[in-house]
Amino acid sequence: MSNIDMSLLISEEETQSLASQQKQMQTNAEARAYLESTDWYVLREAETGVSVPIDIRAKRASCRDTIVS
């Protein structure tokens, strides 16, 4: 007789779902970190009128689009 509690096992679907959630959490964290590291460009533009570089603006937009709450 086995001592394994089968109710504690998770299905392949649940495993894949958890992996997908973990991946999205990592993507969210990386995107938020980039946004945080480039916030100063936005503040500089608001305070001085010096534009945010196009490449920074584009990547910030891309990061915002990838974040899923």
Residues 62, 25: Cα–Cα separation, whole Å? 16
pLDDT of residue 12: 85
Residue 27 is predicted with a pLDDT of: 97
Q: What is the pTM of this model?
A: 0.80
Interatomic CA distance for residues 31 and 49, integer angstroms:
25
CA dihedral of residues 30, 31, 34, 36 (deg, nearest 10): -110
pLDDT in tens, 5-60: 766 788 888 989 999 999 999 999 999 999 999 999 999 999 999 999 999 999 99
* Domain locations along the chain: 28-69
Sign of CA dihedral 23, 29, 32, 58: negative
